[in-house]
Amino acid sequence: MDSLDWTGITGPAVAARVVPNTTAGSIILMHNTCGGRVQAGTATIQSLPFIIEILRAEGYRFVTIPTLMDIPAYQGVVEPY
């Protein structure tokens, strides 16, 4: 589900969108930066502690996508110089 954090909404607005719209197996799309929009990244950072606390209390777990889908994680290839 798209948190809409990239739109410039506030941290509380991000949390208010994410928490009630999360269901089993949800993948929550969030951004740490939004094309240089500082407020968007700030809203994400502000919303995360609340989102994590509430969803954990409701029994949700946070996992990586490879864990969720039971696939190997991407491993980049290191080229020798």
The tens digit of pLDDT for each residue in 4-28 reads 988 888 999 999 999 999 999 899 9
Contacts of 18 (CB under 8 A, 6+ apart): 1, 3, 28, 47, 51
In the block, tokens 């864990």 appear at: 67
The model's pTM: 0.75
Q: What is the pLDDT of residue 74?
A: 78
User: What are 36-68's pLDDT values in tens digits?
Assistant: 655 557 888 999 999 999 999 999 999 888 888
Q: What is the pLDDT of residue 65?
A: 84
